[in-house]
């Protein structure tokens, strides 16, 4: 199914619906030739984008690090509205009609410069299924510790850029081994993040519930979904913990999830060769925090 695409330019802020059945991008576009741009991927339920504010904030942060222009939130909103109104029906689920809404900011061509795109498509059934069925994940060394890069803005730590080849290579690697997702570890075996997600761990001790995630601001991209769930959990009386976490913390937990904006919460049913507890009640409770936001 061809996605629905709307373009915004700073010179003419009126959003324009494009025909995506043919090619849209120039061979000289530096988003293409250099991965030089930023993106956000969001979920729309019944044509309403979830956590739009958090995504626009992170996109603004990426723009700043990349020295790309920042568009007004109202311009993005108008473009999103146009794209959703023109898109074919979303994938039906118990949460509503589901669309993926991607915001993309490219440096464009040397002649024409940067522009923004909104790209809307139906959420794949397989993505929705992983929320229920969970995923098999593997621990995978990240090589260097990403915290080593955070002091230098030119290394773009904290920007969500179009230069995503490593994340894709990691997913190909674990799939070739029969798993579906990867959790990065630092050289001291510390848990970092998923290939395209954050890691959330639940621990139950009598009536006390603790929700854990690796320490933020250490070169890990701050997860908007993880953040929203933690906000709700805190209000509901959970203890919150922010790493460091090690493989044993996941293997001995009462639940591990990969959180991301479209898949939402995918329980990790298997980590390397070990089965992990998948607690439907806990998943629904965490999902509730996200949905009531």
Give residues in contact with its own copies (CB under 8 A).
3, 5, 20, 22-37, 39, 65-67, 104, 107, 117, 119, 140-146, 148-157, 159, 161-170, 172-173, 187
Nearest-10 Cα torsion for 223, 226, 227, 232: 170
Largest CA distance in the chain: 63
CA distance 130 to 127: 5
Pairing of strands 181-185, 135-141: parallel
Q: ∠233-235-240 over CA atoms, to 5°?
A: 45
With respect to its own copies, which residue has the nearer C-beta, 48 or 187?
Answer: 187
With respect to its own copies, which residue has the nearer C-beta, 153 or 247?
Answer: 153
SS3 67: coil
* b/e per residue 49-88 (b: at least 16 CB within 10 A): bbbbebbbebbbbbbebbebebbeeebbebbbebbbeebe
> In the structure encoding, which two tokens stand for residue 25, read together?
């991008």
Contacting residues for 228 by C-beta, under 8 A, at least 6 apart: 51, 54, 289, 290, 293
Please provide the DSSP assignment of 196-220 as one string. Answer: SSEEEEEEEETTEEEEEE--SSSSP
Residue 134 CB, nearest distance to its own copies (Å)?
Answer: 23
- Length in residues, the chain: 293
Phi, psi of 239 (to 5 degrees): -80, 140
Residue 92 CB, nearest distance to its own copies (Å)?
Answer: 22
CA distance 150 to 157: 6
Pairing of strands 208-213, 239-242: parallel
């Amino acid at each position: 199914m061809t996605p629905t695409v709307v373009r915004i330019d700073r010179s003419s802020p009126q959003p324009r619906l494009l025909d995506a059945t043919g090619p849209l991008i120039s061979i000289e576009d530096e988003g293409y030739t250099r991965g030089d741009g930023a993106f956000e991927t969001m979920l729309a339920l019944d044509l309403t984008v979830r956590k739009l504010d958090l995504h626009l904030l992170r996109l603004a942060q990426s723009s700043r690090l990349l020295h790309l222009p920042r568009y007004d939130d109202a311009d993005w909103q108008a473009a999103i509205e146009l794209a959703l109104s023109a898109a074919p029906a979303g994938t039906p689920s118990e949460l509503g009609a589901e669309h993926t809404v991607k915001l993309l900011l490219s440096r464009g061509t040397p002649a024409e410069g940067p522009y923004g795109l909104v790209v809307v498509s139906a959420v794949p059934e397989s993505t929705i299924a992983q929320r229920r069925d969970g995923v098999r994940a593997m621990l995978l060394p990240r090589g260097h510790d990403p915290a080593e890069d955070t002091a230098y803005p030119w290394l773009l730590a904290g920007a969500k850029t179009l230069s995503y080849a490593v994340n894709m290579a990691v997913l190909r690697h674990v799939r070739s081994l029969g798993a579906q997702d990867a959790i990065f570890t630092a050289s001291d075996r510390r848990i970092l993040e998923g290939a395209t997600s954050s890691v959330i761990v639940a621990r139950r001790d009598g009536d006390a519930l603790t929700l854990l995630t690796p320490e933020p601001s250490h070169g890990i991209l701050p997860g908007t979904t993880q953040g929203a769930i933690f906000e709700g959990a805190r209000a509901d009386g959970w203890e919150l913990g922010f790493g460091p976490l090690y493989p044993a913390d996941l293997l001995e937990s009462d639940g591990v999830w990969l959180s991301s904006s479209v898949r939402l919460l995918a329980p990790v049913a298997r980590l390397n060769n070990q089965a992990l507890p998948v607690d439907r009640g806990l998943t629904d409770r965490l999902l509730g925090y996200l949905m009531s936001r």
